[in-house]
Structure 1
């Protein structure tokens, strides 16, 4: 029984049928030749969902462009061939099913090749965060069980102490050698690799914004409703073009990258995010979809009108955003620049997806994260586990088809009646739209009053002088706790500590006014845009 989702066999049947209908609408399901059907079915039985998606797209659209990166383009047939060759080369070097393939790479073909090849080997695919420091990389690689390592040359200096049994291989380098992926692909057998006998497993890492990153493994999806949930809110279509700005080691970028290729759409990636380069690429490739985290959208908006002037963005239908809180003000700015195309996903590495706000939702409530997707349940509970009424703030619990299995090193998120804690607090409005009020461990009690820093952040972000802001609770001898604001001001603007306090006092209750304000050049963030609170507290 899936976590807290399915209440009856009839409900499960409805979800699968509705998902199938959404597949038809998206252009995914169609009459196929026996050859295509046999190829896809064989791949599903041999390798599981991820590899089968590529095999199906290669059979359907072999000559269509699958991926564009800084080295050029690859077709679906070429991607399929490359992953076969790489999987065979790794198996020849001893890689066995269930062994760990750790990937430390930016967004480019090497990461994609490695994921599909590892899937065909039945491996545990461990996606490492490219923003980790050397000690974190070594600790995580050791803890998660790295039997084979794929990495970009720029990270070589951090990997001296990592010596996987099956070897280390360069995914991106200016000087190809015998241990580069390109060399293995060139010399590997193009035949379909033998079935590993087990399905691959994906290990995504938590953000580690407040502590050590944890491995959050999950099985490949077994239900159509996993994708049906997304399609119930977002009009993804087969055969389009997706510009993936979000890092693919993160849940958002990885899931959307695999989804894009499975849909027979073209995936456009770049190793490092540059806001103007991204906008230019969207126009040049006539992208229909952009995958991004909020801070990337903020950098695009910072360019002003000149960033989009003269660029044809008429093909753009979807800006799919997640990873950290979008916020009402940024939502308004992105909509004003790109049009009503923003879809705001709420979820986490552990619970996967929960709700999605559509452009219609955001036109009414730009600060919301929408309503639950097909197949998901979201409830607001008090500390005793009792369901709270509409409008009341409490802990957010989620049930769906894609949640993680528990942390690699042990432990799990709290589960109540089959629903898993997201770690956030929030409330529903009368229209069923969810609002995130903060992290459940962020709330402070200041002078006897409950305060969520996120509310103060959201207000300060609306001020014309503020480029970025983060508000944290810190200990206070007199009040128990107090708010401390970290503010980045737009170039050429003047905004003082007194201005901050006065602006908050004018708009919110007095006890929500930050008692301390620190001005910074920029906020420390991880690649998915989340503010690194531990670094702020050290400042």
Structure 2
């Protein structure tokens, strides 16, 4: 990434503003010594703005950057002294969004250990599998998950919230030296269709990744940011990284509650919200706020935006919506701005600076504009591979996202769905996501999912699962007629199933494996 662009973006976002010379020197020294890991980012923030509030929890408890760093260092020393954690070990973190999660992840990276961010929605059996496959030495967990940990191996050290706090409170203060190796962050894939895999996140090697994001999404130094997206997910963790880099004040809730979120956006005067699309849907079900929060940015990722949501949300909260399309493996591929979403509500936007994106056929050859093909992406933060060994397909430095999409004449990317979700019905290629987007626009429909299921005559057919708003009614034939009016006959779902709600994981993605159980 070219230096003038980096300098220009950092200047626009306030990162190059003058400061007290001794603090600026200390900030630069921290980055030189500790690099761009999460520990390094926290250290530079604490060096430059030690008294700045770093995090506020749902109870209103505040920690400054200096306090957050001190607690993280105390925990790191205690993990090493009491449990023998050292560089190269793996520490599991089974926590919701609260300061303890941040302290634990930073503590692991301070020691050069890998922090494994564990999905809070895992069953006891899945948790046991993850603990074994990731070779966890320690599992730090919230109290609510204690029962899930009972079946784990006896030699796995388990720390609940009280034990974690006791380690911090009894540890002696003191400095730590950079570890012999950098600790990695391991994020589990969503596992919507199978067992989650561990994906190793790279450590940034400079300002490039940050600049790619904040050039397109106008976040600024010392913004106040509510991170509603789960931090154990790539999007929530990326938000944490960006906030540390910007020395932002982070507001956290353990669980997403739309009313409480809206209240805290106003109470804490938040300029930004990081969320997943289903959270915006829940916010829109509340009455319009009497006092609109001072939001400049609402950044979402993790799943597709329903077609009618962007305009409705921006009509209520202003043109502040940004949609990042990416994945655990690819980090980001494109970003849609409010102007993009006003123009084309279902677009994934354009690749940010420093990102390559290509649409290719099954042989890896570029597809003409407007034609659907496999989405390949390249950037500085492509994952380093799965902890289990296998990698994703790569072509000429680009990662195959596993998604299908197209780029229109204006350069906007549209994602048609997962390559393995596309079905062939009676010889026709059908994309469930297209039908799903259409059904989500019905006023009676609260949420919709469309999947392919086996069919004895056509090979496969579409099945639509719809959850309606309370008090609304809709019949299956009316749904089919609606789709028939807008799409080709082979896109009309033969099956229409009405459910109370769609099964989702903690990041808001629909668990299609649960829907397939309707068909044995």
TM-score (norm. length: structure 2): 0.96
Of 48, 53, 70, 1:60 maps to 48
| Match status 1:337 vs 2:316 | yes
1:142 alignment partner in structure 2: 132
Equivalences for residues 275-424 of structure 1 within 5 A: 275-303=258-286, 306=287, 308-313=288-293, 315-424=294-403
Tell me the alpha carbon deviations over residues 201-250 of structure 1, each in whole angstroms, 9 at most, x when there is no partner: 01011000001100000221113211111022110100110011100000
How far apart are the structure 2 equivalents of 1:241 and 1:164?
42
Give the distance between the partners of 2:127 and 2:281, measured in 1 at CA: 29
Matched, 1:107 2:94: no
Q: Match of 2:116?
A: 126
1:471 & 1:334 partners in 2: Cα distance? Answer: 24
* Cα drift, residue 405 of structure 1: 1.2
Contact kept, 8 Å, 1:47 with 1:198, in 2: the verdict is no
Relative to structure 1, the CA distance from residue 166 to residue 17 in structure 2 (aligned partners, 3 Å threshold; closer, same or farther) is farther
Name which of structure 1's ranges 192-201 and 79-88 shifts more when overlaid on structure 2: 192-201
Q: Does 1:77 align with 2:60?
A: no
What is the aligned partner in structure 1 of residue 190 from structure 2?
A: 207
Whether contact under 8 Å (1:115, 1:125) holds in the other structure is: yes
Partner Cα separation in structure 2 for residue 42 and residue 190 of structure 1 = 21
Matched, 1:233 2:216: yes
Q: Could you tell me how far 1:362 is from its partner in structure 2? A: 0.9
Partner deviation per Cα, 1:45-89 (whole Å, 9 max, x = no partner): 554322122112112221221100034111111101111111111
Is contact 1:46-1:197 (8 Å) kept?
A: no
The Cα of 1:27 is off from its aligned counterpart by: 1.0
Asked if 1 retains the 8 angstrom alpha-carbon contact of 2:373 and 2:405, the reply is yes
Q: Could you tell me how far apart the structure 2 residues matched to 1:497 and 1:263 are?
A: 50
Structure 2 counterpart of 1:162:
152
Structure 2: give runs of 5+ residues left out of the alignment. Answer: none
- SS for the counterpart of 1:190 is coil
Please name the residue that 2:35 is paired with: 48
Paired position in structure 1 for 2:508: 529
Kindly provide the CA deviation profile for residues 169-219 of structure 1, in whole angstroms up to 9, marking residues without a partner as x.
123xxxx3xxx2211111112212232221110101100000110000022
In 2, distance between residues paired with 1:46 and 1:138?
Answer: 37
Which residue matches 1:9?
Answer: none
Query: Cα offset for 1:322?
Result: 0.1
Q: Give the SS at the match of 1:371.
A: coil
Q: How does 1:458-537 map to 2 (within 5 A)?
A: 458-537=437-516
- Report the Cα distance in structure 2 between the residues aligned to 1:261 and 1:225, rounded to whole angstroms: 15
What SS class does the counterpart of residue 514 from structure 2 fall into?
helix
Q: 1:29 & 1:104 partners in 2: Cα distance?
A: 36
SS in 1 for 2:160: strand
Residue 22 (1) aligns with residue 12 (2)? no
**How many aligned residue pairs are there?**
515
- Runs of 4+ residues over 4 Å off in structure 1: 163-166
CA shift, 1:535, in A, is 0.3
2:13–2:219: 8 Å Cα contact kept in structure 1?
yes
Kindly state the Cα deviation for residue 41 of structure 1 after the two structures are TM-superposed: 4.3
Q: 1:85 and 1:450, CA in 2 relative to 1: closer, same or farther beyond 3 A?
A: same
Q: Which residue of structure 2 lines up, in the alignment, with residue 86 of structure 1? A: 75
Where structure 1 has 5 or more consecutive residues not aligned to the other structure, the ranges are 1-11
Shift of 1:447: 1.1
Asked whether the 8 Å contact 1:148–1:165 carries over to 2, the reply is no
Moved more, 215-224 or 43-52: 43-52
| Alignment partners' CA distance in 2, 1:62 and 1:45 | 18
Please report how far the alpha carbon of residue 406 of structure 1 lies from its aligned counterpart in structure 2 after TM superposition: 1.2
SS in 2 for 1:472: strand
1:134-174, CA deviations, whole angstroms, 9 ceiling, x for partnerless residues?
A: 11111011111211111001111111233475732123xxx
Q: Secondary structure at the match of 2:385?
A: coil
Local SS of the residue matching 1:423: strand
Conservation of the 8 A alpha-carbon contact between 2:302 and 2:327? yes
CA contact (8 A) 2:9 2:214 kept: yes
Q: Secondary structure at the match of 1:79?
A: helix
TM-score (norm: length of structure 1): 0.93
State the distance in 1 between where 2:369 and 2:100 align.
Answer: 47
Local SS of the residue matching 1:312? coil
* 1:452 maps onto 2:435 in alignment: no
Displacement of 1:20: 2.8
Indicate conservation of the 8 Å contact 2:308/2:441, yes or no: yes
Tell whether the 8 Å contact from 1:150 to 1:168 is kept in structure 2 after alignment: yes
Cα distance, 1:287–1:164 mapped onto 2, change above 3 Å: farther
CA distance in 2 between counterparts of 1:269 and 1:512 reads 42
1:39–1:55 contact (8 Å) kept in structure 2: no
Q: Distance in 2 between matches of 1:221 and 1:114?
A: 20
Instruction: Report what 1:260 is aligned to.
Output: 243
Shifted more, 56-65 versus 95-104: the winner is 56-65
Q: Is the 8 A contact 1:86 1:188 kept in 2?
A: yes
Q: Go from structure 1 to structure 2 and tell me whether the alpha carbon gap of 1:41 and 1:168 turns closer, same or farther (over 3 Å shift).
A: farther
